[in-house]
Structures are given as structure tokens and as C-alpha cells.
Amino acid sequence: MRAIVLEGPRRAVLRDVPEPRRAVGEVLIAVQRAGICGSDVAVFRGDRPVEHPLVMGHEAVGRIADPGESEHTPGSRVVIEPNIPCRRCDVCRRGHGNVCPSKRSLGMNWPGVFADLIAVPSEFAHPLPDRIRLEDAVGIEPLAVAWHAVAAAQVTEGSRVALIGCGAEGLLLVQALVACGARVVAADLRAERLALARQLGAESTVHVSPGTRASVDARLVAPVVFEAAGAAAALELALNAAAPGGRIVALGLGASTANLMPLDFVRRGLTLIGSLIYDHPTDFQAAIDMVHRGDIQPAALVSQVIDKLEALPAMLSSLAAHDTDGKTVVDIRGQA
């Protein structure tokens, strides 16, 4: 079968590789659409260490090619949940499978979805209602990430929240927050991202300058602040923007050190929450339900569709060189 294999930093190539062997309890899925995530680009650049060679990708939808012993039927549509906790360790037993140290992560430490076929445990292949379009379905995985953060923050209807960072994940977070009735003020470096945040329901927006940390626009001060930019400056801004007694939820995967003043943090009674991926299976099902009801349309973020797998290495190179807005989707089978 065809697959995009990362042979080293910035060296992604199309290869013929053996088809995956379906283990007991797994299903085999023919991948239809896949999304390119910022973490995929980080892996491509070498900023996020992985073992090579590696089949890339983790956001995908497809059809069941071999249901094995499961209740899935051949040809039925599914969305793939790509992070698979061991469900045996103490971390999993305490209900934190999202941070399981032994979890399998497709496209990170396990063969990914930029391929014709993928095998996953049957319960990590979620059935897709007929009403959900492929264009929206491919965004369900990152939407589950956003919804997990909303739940962690305990956001309720009427809550006033601030969001730092309006990349693809941040814009999904805008939609998730608006869907649950929150009033959102969004901040970003780019005016075009802020314009889309307003279109998606943000009540107001704030344009910030590079390196902004201590100087907080009064409009950003809120009881709940989300950081989705993945930069130390963004987290510091979020800490400074939180109102006394507030909560800061960090989704961003920044790799540099952020400053935190314990005296100020304690005196203001703040809570800092790290929100990584999602809980199985609740967050994924919640994301599917929101898209099915029409509350959220992930396709609103799609800025370009690649119509063949062969074009993906060049697109990864382009995305690594130029930080673009929106979401790039790959039509694995060239049937767009």
C-alpha cells in the first residue's frame, strides 16, 4: 500500500509499505480524508523527536475494510481516535488515559494515517452518522481536543472567557465555547485569524504584538483564559490576563520556558490546568454529537484540500516554511 514515510527531519517520501496486519480486537480502515495538524508539521521539521522511519498523520476518517470480530460493518464510515492508552497502568486506572505514558499515538510513536490503510482497536473507530460530511468529519479529532479543554475549565452558559491563540485549534475552541453559551474574547497576532474568530462567534477580538507578556489589554481579563498558541509569551499573557480566582487552561505545546511568579500566582488564587488531547470515549463522542447537531462545522477552517497523497510531502515542506492560516486536508484516494 502507499504511505507517507518520514525518513528523517524534512524528509517525507511516498513509499510502498506492507499493509498493516489486523490484530485481534482491531479493525482495518481504508483512509479517505486526513487533516494536517501543527504537531505533524513539528514532527516533519524535527522539532518534535520521533523514531524514523515513521508513517505520519493522526487525524483521519475512512471506511471499514475489515471489521474483524467487531460490530462494525464493511464499508461503514468511521472517524479514527488516534491516541490509544494502555488502560492497564496506574495513570489509566486513575482515569487519566490521555496522559498514559505507554499510550500508542498514531503518527507519533505508531504508524499513522497518511496511508491507504490503518489498523486500530475497534472501539477507537467511531461510527459516523450519515448526516456528517467528510469535510466536517476530518475535524472531529481536533474538536475533541478543544472540547476536553472546555470541560476541564468548567465553562458554563454565560461564562466570559478569553482565548489566546487563534490557529486551527484555537478557532475550533472558539466554536466549542460559543456552542456551550460562553462569551468569547479572542486574541492573536494576525488580523485575518481574528476576523475568522469573529465570524465563528467571538464577541470581541484583541490584536496582540509579538512578545506581549506583561501588558494586558483590559478586554482580555477574564475568569477563564485559554492558551492555544503554544508559545511561552502566550502562556505568560494568559497568566497575567486571568482575573483573581481565575483558571488558565493551557492547550499549547510550546517548547520554551515560561515565567511564573509564585508570589503573584498564589496571591491571586489562580489555577493552571494542562489540557492534553481527550478522554476516551466521552470527548470524542461529544465532538461527534456537536457536529451531528450542526452546533459546530469544522469544515469552516479548511483552507485547502490536496487531491492526492503524492502531493503531501511538498505540502509538508511548504507548511514547515510558511505558517499558514486555516486547515489543510488530504484526499487520500484522490476522489475529492
Looking at residue 211, what is its pLDDT?
66
Low-confidence ranges of the chain (pLDDT < 50): 336
pLDDT tens for 137-184 read: 999 999 999 999 999 999 999 999 999 999 999 999 999 999 999 999
Q: Is residue 305 situated within a structural domain?
A: yes
Residue 223: enclosing H or E segment and its boundaries? Answer: strand 222-227
Is 39 contained in some domain?
yes
Residue span of the structural domain in which 315 resides = 2-128+297-331
The answer to whether residue 279 sits within a structural domain is no
Q: Could you give the strand order of the β-sheet that contains 222-227, starting from the edge strand earlier in sequence? A: 204-207, 183-188, 160-164, 222-227, 242-250, 271-274
**Tell me, what's the pLDDT at 333?**
81
Task: Indicate if 147 and 124 belong to the same structural domain.
Answer: no
In a domain, 282, yes or no: no
Domain-located, residue 138? no
Structural domain total, the chain: 2
Could you tell me which residues come within 8 angstroms of residue 322 by beta carbon, excluding any fewer than 6 positions away? none
Considering the domain boundaries, does residue 280 fall inside one? Answer: no
| 157, 270: one domain | yes
pLDDT score recorded for residue 212:
66
- CATH code, 71: 3.90.180.10
Evaluate whether 132 touches 138 at the Cβ level (below 8 Å): no
Residues 7 and 109 grouped into a single domain: yes
Residue 281 lies in a domain: no
Q: Are residues 115 and 226 in the same domain?
A: no
Per DSSP bridges, beta strands 160-164 and 183-188 are parallel
**Separation of alpha carbons 232 and 255, rounded Å:** 8
In this predicted structure, what is the pLDDT of residue 213? 63
Global pTM reads 0.95
- The H-assigned helical ranges of 83-201 are 90-93, 134-137, 140-153, 168-179, 191-199
Q: Compute the distance between CA of residue 124 and CA of residue 298 in angstroms, rounded to an integer.
A: 20
Assign residue 249 the CATH number of its domain: 3.40.50.720
Partner residues linked to 270 by β-bridges: none
| 191 and 155 both lie in a single domain | yes
Q: Same domain, yes or no, for 202 and 325? A: no
Q: Do 122 and 221 share a structural domain?
A: no
